[in-house]
Structures are given as structure tokens and as C-alpha cells.
Structure 1
Amino acid sequence: MRELGGAIRKLATWPLVGFLLVCLTLTYWQVLAAEQLNNAAENNRLERMQRRIQPGRLITRDGVVILDSHSGPRGWERIYDDTRAFSHLTGYNSRTGLQKTLADALYAQGLYSNPWEELMHGGVVGNNVHLTIDARLQQIAHRAMRRKRGAVIAMDPRDGALLVLYSAPAYDASAITRSQEAFDLFVYDPEKPEINRALQGMYPPGSVFKIFTAAAAIDAGISTPETVFQCTGVERVAGTQIRCRRSGGHGKLSLKKALTDSCNIAFAKLGDELGPERFRDYVKRFHLLDSTNLPLATSTGRMADFSAFKGQMQLAEASFGQGATLITPLAIARLTATIANGGEVIQPCMVDYVETVGNRRTTSGRGEQLGRA
């Protein structure tokens, strides 16, 4: 009997091992690898599901529907109001732009699902997402940036609402997916229209960064708007040669005049006096290199740490927006909004609220305070 019992136990072990292997395999594919599978290019399950759901709309603060839908032979399909002015906001399919990042809200999934409303309306109906973007201002930016490369951002310093978020060159959101040829022309365009320069472009800030250096120096108590500097046109500051935009120099000038007439030498001296530690501290307090909570991919800036043997030289260059400093247009917008807001740093936002089928507002993203710079 003992031998028979041992044989039965051995026989029972194999189904148990097999069951455990199945559990581990399912756990891996459904939990650990779920995101990778969902984002795989060959996985169109999500798109098939979305075509069966009437999606919500993207609506600007002034009531313009920039992303709508209609029922076609293949299910619900997207319609773009202005195919270029809002292209970097809407994206060109369900895997790009706000169509991707706000998919749960637009298709009433996840936290935005409501079984009761599904029952009342005979199926899932998506939610409308209301943006802080002003369509009229966005279209003005679009016209102003025609045949140019760059970005336009307008931000309300009181609550962080983004009124304009425009990147140039734009693209025709409705044309890209019409054919493989159109898609290839878009992807390999040397102008790289797919990049949202407002959020992802990394540029030396240049003289606009002098606003930051002046604010930090005044707040630290080492300067006032009337503090006098000497500018001879070319000077060595912290071991590096600094040139002013005026070859003959400004002579004696106040900080106020140095800011309005963009004197590099005055600001290099100001940064040198601030020193690396205080300069880095103000960079953190202004959240200059931080990411945002926006529902679109955003780059974070970078700057020299000023700790190497060339640290003071790097600091002198950074003080007037040059050297190793690279930041996004959005970071500059947040910097200027902080100054306009009396030193209070506000988190930028672009989603005002989500409106359900029953006209219930579910979220509002304005006015998150990040502290005083």
C-alpha cells in the first residue's frame, strides 16, 4: 500500500506542476508583459474595441470640437476639425497625441467606466474631454508660424491653464493614415513634423533666461534693479571670455538696464556672484528641469552641474542662457508665468474637465501649486 501511495503522489505531482506553470505563464503575459502587448504595433485588439464604442469628443474652452467621430462601415471613425492647427494635440490615430493618453476618458474605460450609464444608453458611450486650449488663439499661432519651425505657448499664470500649445511645422492629421506612402513621407520628412517642439524640443534658452538670473539674484539679496555693473564689450568672467552684443560695451549700467538691453557681461558677473550652490537651488525652486503632469510626452531639461573644474565658467555662460543649458519652450513658459504670478510656481495643465454622457463633470486639473520659487 505504501508503494501504491507513493506512486499516486508522484502521479499527482505532474498535474500540479503543470497547473503552476500555466499560472506563472498567464501571470507573465497578463500582468508583467501586459503593457508591452498592448503597445505592440501588431496588436489591433484595442483599435477593434474602440471602433465599437462611440468615442467622446475633444472640445476647446471656446466650444470648438477639434476631435469628433462618425459611424462608418468599419465602425466609429475620427473626424478632425482643423487637421493642422491642432495636430500635435489630437494626434493622427488612437496611438498618438491625446487620442492615446486620454483614451480611457474618451472611451469610458478604466476609472471612467460607468456600468449604470452603459445600461441606460444601451452600450458604452465615451466622455467628452474639455481642454483649456483656446481654439481662436491656437489658429492665430498656426497662421503666424506658417513655413517656420518652432513653438508657441500661452499660459495663464493664475491657474496654469495652457491657452495655446502649438508646434511648427504641423501636419495633416487626417492624411497620414490614408496610405503607406503618406505615412512614410510623414515619418521620413527632414523637418520632423511629428516632434511636438513645444514640449519635446530642447533648445538653449538664450537671453530670455536672464529673467531667471535676475529674479534669483534679487531674491537672494545680492542685487537690486539699481545695482550698477561695468561692461566693456569683452571681459573675462570666471576664467572664460564673455562678449556683449555691443562690441564697444555698455559702460556703466544698472541691472534693470542690463535686462532690458540684454547685456551678457552683466549677467555673467551676476551668476558668478550667485555661485553654483545658490544657482542650482533656484533652478530646483523654479522647477526648470522638472517634468509635468501633462497628458502628452514632455522632455525634461538639462544643465551643467557646475561642479567640475570648469564649473564657474559653465555657470557664467548659463547665467545668460548659453553653455550646456537646454530646456523646452514649456519650461520657459512656466518660468515667465512664475514671475508673473509673484514667484508662485503653478503646474501647467491642459485638461479642464471630463464630461460624462449624463453631463457630470468628473475631473478638473487646474491650479496645482508647486510652491514658491
Structure 2
Amino acid sequence: MWYKDRGWDYFVKYIRAIQVAFIALFLLLFLRLFQVQILKGFTFSERSRDNYLKRFIVPPNRGRIISSDGRTVAATYISYDLVSQGSLSAKIKNDVRAITGVSLKSMEDSLTRSLKKGEILKTLIRDLKGRPLIAMASVINEYPGLRIIKSPKRFYPHEHIFSHVTGYLSETLPDRARAMSYSYPGSLHGKSGLEKTFDSYLFGSPGGEIVEVTAAGDIIEVKGRVLPSTGDELSITVDSRLQKKAYEAFQGRPGAAVAMNPKTGAVLLFVSSPGFDPGAFGDDAAKVSFMMASPEMPLVNRIIQMKYPPGSVFKIITAASALNESAIDIDKKIDCQGIFKYGRMDFSCWKEKGHGEMDFMNGFAQSCNVYFYNTALETGVKNLSKYASMMGLDLNVLKDIQGELPTVIPTPAWKKKAHKRAWLPGDTINMGIGQGFLWLTPLQMALAVAGVANEGLIYRPYLVERIVAPDGRIEYEARPEQVKQYNLREGVFKLLKEAMRKVVTDGTGRVINIEGEEIYGKTGTAQNPSGDDHAWFVSFGGGELDDFTLTVVLEHGGKGAAVAGPVSRAIWEEYIKIKNEKI
């Protein structure tokens, strides 16, 4: 035999090698068994438990947002989804298609989204309603693997009108969602507007069910249940009647309007046009894509996210600076022939034939550029910049809605740093009429106007009046907060107001001269280097109307009085009507 040929020693070595191999294999198996049973036993035990006990999230109802006149501007309604508790056969899918009329492709798409989100209950049909809902509900007991569940949906009754107030909801990135203690996978959170800033108040507390499932994912039994809690309710300062009137007055044209109570900072209307449909997010991807690609930029909040040259409304600042620094004699007349010559440069007045001789009151009321070119040079860039900042044009103080753009007040030092060029007299001339390097948001202009109306006192603008918990507890209540106070020499505010009143009674702003009412204003037509002029109109009330200031701008609108004026008048008339109804 072969071992006789190779010798006995070779045979013994062969047997011993086999023994060693078996021993090594046994040791490996023992070590692996020790690892699984002892070292990782707890981990596998917990994983085993997870395999048959699952938590199913029950979404909460998001809190309402209510206007100052009691109208609902954002609410939650209950829709119904058809969900699967386990695997679905082709027969069941075909039965559902026949009962509801929903296509198989739509159901497959919905199931795919559910699988991607890792949902325990796979959604077959979302927002089932009407006859299909009734038909499915009548036979649901014949399909033990199917359930009809309640699913909260956000609803915006006024759609575009309040879109930049409410904002919209969307799914949050997983990393950010994990940082929110109240969030859960797939939940919707505020992405803009009040929905974003006050998300933690509005969201509520999710409920849930602990369910026992098979390895295939089929639900066997509900082991426990926790009911969800509704979110808090936001009462806001915006009046729905004013908001609607202002939005309609824009007729779809791009622009912004913001009204405030200068005594408190309460925002009474907050319109950015065009608006958008906040309910489209989450359900209508095609509509969202269209809005995002639209050249009209409906998703941009023009009140705080667009900056414009202020044009002639800046003459309020130029006038205040000149008067307070005694840089001009208000009775001195300047002859306007339609052109102001400075060196080799010509600067035009908006009235080509000129205004003739203008003193301060008439120069302001008629918005004479030539008068203010002279005033700007007499006052100087140092004072123009100083008063622009002092009177609030660089304030960045809105908290209730995020995304406000900052404004830089131009100075010679700023120009040297930003443009590597020295400040020229022509820059001062342009700045005096609100042109050149100064660009600001409508809200910043509104704050400056509120400061003039309130004689140097500016309050933080706010939109949320109070937050109320479902049990009636007041979680938050707004209090007026002063953000700036400045003083002008005695009589300067009086002169400014007289000039702004003359704009309305005898000047460029006669369009808002409403009989029996005390309204002050200033028109503005801002030249735009990339298109048509922007139209401005700022105003505030006196007497019984001293709790209302209004700023209107129409993007590429043209002349301030001709275009922004009618919008302003429509809003003033609505406000006066509302105020009279309260008496």
C-alpha cells in the first residue's frame, strides 16, 4: 500500500496534519459561536425585537394661522390615504384600481415613495376623496391587509394673497430633521415665512402606534397607541381685507406693499406680488418647478429680499439732513430750467421744461430734482450718509420672517474699498435724489417713513400678535420694541410733515388726497440701470389715521405718482373703510 512505500513516519505526519486541521476548524467555530451568543447576543436580541415590534407615526394637526380680523390663512384639514399593512398581490391592486379608478402606475409610484421613506404602512393612494373614498370604505373589511387612515394636509384658503406671509411646507433634509427634537422621518416643516420661523410652535406633537409585524412586514396586532397633539395657533397682525385689496391692486404686476402701525411696529399688510400657491409644495412637483423657473420670481419676497434705488422718496432724508444741519435757507429760491450743470456734466430734472423758481416747500412738493441737486451739494455726502443711517435705512430688524437683506449706506470710504475709486461730487448729486449706489428694501424704506411719522421713534416690525396653545394658554404675546430713536432740531419734523402734506394737497401725490382725511406722502421714480423705472409711493396718516404708514413700490412700474399712486389710494380707502366700521 502507498504508506508502506512512503514509510510509517510519513503516515503519522499525515494523520497529525488532519487532526490539527480539525482542531483549528473546531476552534474557529467555537470562537464564532462565542461571538454570536455572548459578545453580540444583546445586539442581535434587540434587532430581533425590532423585527417584530415597529413604531408607526401618527402625524399631528399643524396649528392654524389667523389674521387680525379673524380669517383663517393657514389650516390643516383631514384627508384619507389608502395604505397597505403588508405585501400586496396583483389581484388586490387590480381590485383597488377597479373600485377607485386610480391607475396601477399611480399606485406603484406612491408605493415606491413609501418604500424610499421606509414607511411601515405603505401608501397606495394619497388623498382619497369623494365617490372613490366611499366605494373603498364600503369594502375595506374584505381586504385585511388594507387600511384607510387619516392624513393631515395643509390648506391655504387665500393662496397667493398671503403666500409670503405664511410661507410653505416641505420635507426637511434628514440631518436637519434629526436636529429637531419634535421631527420624524418624512415630516413636513416650514421652509419660508411664518411657517418656518414658528415651525416648532405650529408643528404639534406626533402620536404613534406600536405594532407587531411578521418578518414580511405584515401587521399582526396593535400593542399600544399614543394620540397626537395639535400645534399652537398663531394670531397675526395682518388684516385679510387690507391684504386682499393690496394684492388685487397690483393686478399681478411685480412689486411690494407694506403697512405698519408706527406706534407699535405691528405690520398691517405685507404683500409681495406676484405671489405663489403654497399648497403646491409636496403634492405638485410640476407646478413647483414652474414657479421656481418663472422669470417673475414669485417665490422671492420682494419686501425683504429685493433691493431697489429709492429715487425721490429719499428726498425725505436729504431734506431732513439739510434742515437739521442748517445747510439751506427754506425761503431761498432756485431756478429750475430742467437741467443742472456741474462742470462738464448735465443732470436732468424729471420735468424737462423745468419748474421755474422753487423754494424748499415747493421744491419738495413738486419733487424738483434741480432743487435737490443743489441741496445735496450744500449738505454734503457725509451728512447724507449719516442721516440715512440715523433715520433707519440700514435697519435689519425683522424677526418674524427670515431672509431680510442688509443695506449698505454708501460713503466715500465704502466706495474706495468696494470700487477702488474716489467719491466724486456727481455721486453726491445722485445720492441727493436717491440714485447711484444706495439700494434698499421696501421694508427699510417703510421703517424710515414710520420714524418720520413717529418723530424719531422706530419700533421693530412684527407680524405675530400672540401664540395660543390648544388648551388656551398664551405661549407668546408681542410687545412693542423700540429699535431706534433719533432727534432732530426743534421744528424740523414739523417742516418735514408740512412738506409731505403739501405733496398730497398740491404736489405730485394728489392721487391720495382723500377729502376730509389727513395724509402725508412722497412720490418717487427710481431710474433702473437694467430696465424701466421703479415706481415708489410712501405715506402716513395724521389725526385719526396716525396709526397707519404705507410703502408701495412697483418694479419696472414707471412714474411713482401715476403707477404706485393708484395702488396706494386703493389701500388707503380700504383702511379708512375698515376704521370707520369699527366706530
The residue aligned with 1:87 is 163
Q: Does 1:67 align with 2:74?
A: yes
Q: 1:101 aligns with which of 188, 197, 209?
A: 197
CA-to-aligned-CA distance 1:3-59 (integer Å, 9 cap, x gap): xxxxxxxxxxxxxxxxxxxxxxxxxxxxxxxxxxxxxxxxxxxxx98x722221111
How far apart in 1 are the matches of 2:296 and 2:314?
A: 27
Residue 370 of structure 1 aligns to a residue whose secondary structure is strand
Q: Structure 1 residues 200, 247: closer, same or farther in 2, change over 3 A?
A: same
Q: CA deviation at 1:349?
A: 1.4
The residue aligned with 2:256 is 151
How far apart in 2 are the matches of 1:238 and 1:64?
A: 60
How far apart in 2 are the matches of 1:80 and 1:123?
A: 22
The residue aligned with 1:301 is 407
CA-to-aligned-CA distance 1:60-104 (integer Å, 9 cap, x gap): 111111001123346322111111110111123132322111102
Paired residue type of 1:254: D
Paired residue type of 2:289: D
**Which deviates more from structure 2 when the two are superposed, residues 214-223 or residues 60-69?**
214-223
Q: How many residues align?
A: 314
Q: CA deviation at 1:140?
A: 0.3
Q: Is the Cα contact below 8 Å between 1:306 and 1:315 reproduced in 2?
A: no
CA-to-aligned-CA distance 1:246-266 (integer Å, 9 cap, x gap): 223223211111111111121
Q: 2:429 aligns with which of 280, 305, 316?
A: 316
How far apart in 2 are the matches of 1:300 and 1:198?
A: 12
Please list every run of 5 or more consecutive structure 2 residues that lacks an aligned counterpart in the other structure: 1-55, 82-149, 170-189, 206-225, 417-421, 487-583
Q: Structure 1 residues 156, 226: closer, same or farther in 2, change over 3 A?
A: farther
The residue aligned with 2:60 is 53
The residue aligned with 2:388 is 283
Q: Is the Cα contact below 8 Å between 1:231 and 1:250 reproduced in 2?
A: yes
Q: CA deviation at 1:146?
A: 1.7
Q: Is the Cα contact below 8 Å between 2:392 and 2:451 reproduced in 1?
A: no
The residue aligned with 1:35 is none
Q: Following superposition of structure 1 onto structure 2, how do residues 1-373 of structure 1 map, counting pairs within 5 Å? A: 52-72=59-79, 73=81, 75-93=151-169, 94-107=190-203, 123-223=228-328, 225-237=330-342, 240-296=345-401, 297-307=403-413, 308=416, 309-373=422-486
Q: Structure 1 residues 225, 123: closer, same or farther in 2, change over 3 A?
A: farther
- Tell me: higher relative CO, structure 1 or 2? Use CA pairs within 8 A at least 6 residues apart: 1
Paired residue type of 2:299: E
Q: Structure 1 residues 229, 59: closer, same or farther in 2, change over 3 A?
A: same
Calculate percent identity across the aligned residue pairs: 28
Q: CA deviation at 1:166?
A: 0.4
Q: Is the Cα contact below 8 Å between 1:276 and 1:311 reproduced in 2?
A: no
The residue aligned with 1:113 is none
Paired residue type of 2:428: L
Paired residue type of 2:198: L
**If you compute each CA radius of gyration, which structure gives the higher value, 1 or 2?**
2
Q: CA deviation at 1:333?
A: 1.2
TM-score, length-normalised on structure 1? 0.78
How far apart in 2 are the matches of 1:169 and 1:224?
A: 44
Q: Structure 1 residues 225, 357: closer, same or farther in 2, change over 3 A?
A: farther
Q: Structure 1 residues 215, 318: closer, same or farther in 2, change over 3 A?
A: same
Q: CA deviation at 1:139?
A: 0.3
Q: Is the Cα contact below 8 Å between 1:334 and 1:345 reproduced in 2?
A: yes
Residue 221 of structure 1 aligns to a residue whose secondary structure is coil
Residue 86 of structure 1 aligns to a residue whose secondary structure is helix
TM-score, length-normalised on structure 2? 0.51
